[in-house]
Structure 1
């Protein structure tokens, strides 16, 4: 049985994102036709390109749905009044596609303005969670390992 990865990203992108990047991003999200030139990764070494972040269906291996949304952050304008792009992606990724998908994530994060925590990756096998943390030099996958007993705070809707 194959493993799958639950990928979640939430980032802002600059308001003046270059048109070729915006076109490729929209294609990756399943919102546009494929551009003539793709820069997000070397797709040919992976058997050809696909819309890695296309959402809109139930997740193959995880509860919930795979979704992708790119909108202007009109309620959070920059100091100069410009509106950044807000992107959220939740995608189920097959283990064979994990490497190329993380190449695409790296390409995307090179264009992002968000620093620090930008998402997580969870595997279907062990349920291990790794945080995606963006910094100036790229991003890291940081293991989540509980130390000792986890503190639990019960939540009640009463």
Structure 2
């Protein structure tokens, strides 16, 4: 049986995200193609070391097997219930002041932990607040066998290990 987590992410992101950051963020959310170069989540991906026939590849042909982290759409795994979604939109305001609003509800496996931690840490660094308020990033996870309560925790912490916010 797989370990699955219901995962909610909301963030208010800086209006000055770069085009490479936006391209990768849109890809992670399932809203655009994979960019040629990743600038947010740069390591921790599985490495492909064999060809499609299972034959080992020379080390100079190994490549990372990056995938979008928050791109699920439609019915979520039945153990979680509900639907999976992700969205990113620009808030109203002048272009230099209009923040990016992000929301996602996904089903995450623990193997996605390190890449997801990198994405969440980037969001924290790029978060902004409303009218100079504190940066706004929310991240909640619930193990699929737990009850309906949500647990806040910081990127890199495991639920229940004292890293809760």
Matched ranges for 1:76-115 at <5 A: 77=93, 82-114=97-129, 115=135
Once the two structures are TM-superposed, the CA of residue 90 in structure 1 deviates from its matched residue by 0.9
1:63 matched to 2:84? The reply is no
Whole-Å separation in 2 of the counterparts to 1:116 and 1:34:
26
Partner in structure 2 of residue 35 of structure 1: 35
SS at match of 1:99: helix
Once the two structures are TM-superposed, the CA of residue 17 in structure 1 deviates from its matched residue by 1.0
Whole-Å separation in 2 of the counterparts to 1:45 and 1:6:
21
Count residues with an aligned counterpart. 135
1:97–1:81 Cα change, 3 Å: closer
Once the two structures are TM-superposed, the CA of residue 83 in structure 1 deviates from its matched residue by 1.2
Whole-Å separation in 2 of the counterparts to 1:17 and 1:33:
18
User: Which TM-score applies when normalising by structure 2?
Assistant: 0.69
Structure with the bigger percentage of strand: 1
Partner in structure 1 of residue 68 of structure 2: 51
1:120 matched to 2:137? The reply is no
Superposed CA RMSD in Å reads: 2.7
Whole-Å separation in 2 of the counterparts to 1:87 and 1:129:
19
Cα shift readout 1:10-54 (whole Å, capped 9, x = no counterpart): 111112211110110011111111111112223464241111111
Whole-Å separation in 2 of the counterparts to 1:44 and 1:129:
26
Partner in structure 1 of residue 22 of structure 2: 22
Whole-Å separation in 1 of the counterparts to 2:145 and 2:96:
45
Larger displacement relative to structure 2 (6-15 or 108-117): 108-117
Whole-Å separation in 1 of the counterparts to 2:39 and 2:96:
30
User: Which TM-score applies when normalising by structure 1?
Assistant: 0.72
- Gaps of at least 5 residues in structure 2 are 48-64, 130-134, 156-161
Once the two structures are TM-superposed, the CA of residue 112 in structure 1 deviates from its matched residue by 1.6
Structure 1 segments (4+ residues) deviating >4 Å = none
Once the two structures are TM-superposed, the CA of residue 124 in structure 1 deviates from its matched residue by 1.3
